[in-house]
């Protein structure tokens, strides 16, 4: 399937994820439990978004639902709602990741622990 204009490839996403990790390493945040769990959650959001995007492209924006008596109704694809909710969650997780990187303690000061990020 051809990629639409402006669509990000999985390879580009992996490259950007690697760049986030490099920035976290430079700030000493990459070993923080809070950073690692948020980063893992962010990657999962991206995977879910990719799958939802495929489902929307395959089924379309409108889908039919057939009732027991054979009546059909047209509905907005529920994957769109799920996509929008997941995108919002991913955006919030990205903001948290940036905060963890911004407030990471100096890597030279190893006496600090994960809770020093707060």
In sequence order, what are the beta bridge partners of 75?
63
pTM: 0.75
Q: What's residue 58's pLDDT?
A: 95
Token couple for 74: 């047209």
Q: What's residue 32's pLDDT?
A: 85
Token couple for 82: 């799920």
The answer to whether residue 96 scores a pLDDT higher than 80 is yes
Q: What's residue 55's pLDDT?
A: 94
SS3 content of the chain, % helix, strand, coil (to 5): 65, 10, 30
């Amino acid at each position: 399937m051809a990629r639409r204009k402006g669509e990000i490839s999985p390879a580009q996403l992996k490259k950007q994820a690697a760049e986030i990790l490099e920035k976290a390493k430079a700030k000493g945040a990459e070993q923080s439990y809070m950073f690692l769990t948020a980063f893992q959650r962010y990657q999962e959001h991206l995977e879910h978004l990719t799958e939802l995007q495929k489902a929307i492209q395959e089924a379309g924006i409108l889908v039919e639902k057939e009732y027991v008596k054979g009546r059909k109704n047209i509905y907005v694809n529920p994957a769109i709602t799920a996509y929008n909710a997941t995108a919002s969650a991913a955006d919030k997780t990205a903001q948290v990741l940036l905060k963890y990187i911004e407030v990471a303690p100096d890597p030279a000061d190893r006496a600090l622990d994960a809770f020093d990020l707060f």
